[in-house]
Amino acid sequence: MNTDTTSNRTGPGGTPKVLNHLLAARRIRAIFPGVTDSAGVPQRKPDRVLTSQTINVRPS
């Protein structure tokens, strides 16, 4: 016999955590109502230049 179980966790005040998550997501969408991605193609960063070297010196 297979009995599925669910978790109904609650946060402070007895509010189900899933409800808290949904309400928080709504608040975030209200703060950022438009598209927040930048427009266009990202600019390429210049390649880094090697500025240090390892020098091997044979003992004399």
Count CA atoms within 13 Å of residue 38 on its CB side. 4
In this predicted model, what pLDDT tens digit does every residue of 12-57 receive, in sequence order?
677 777 888 888 888 888 887 776 666 677 778 888 877 777 777 8
> Is residue 58 very low, low, confident or very high in pLDDT (cuts 50, 70, 90)?
confident
> CA–CA separation, 60 vs 57, rounded Å?
9
pLDDT confidence of residue 16:
76
Instruction: Name residue 16's beta-bridge partners.
Output: 10
Name the pTM for this structure: 0.35
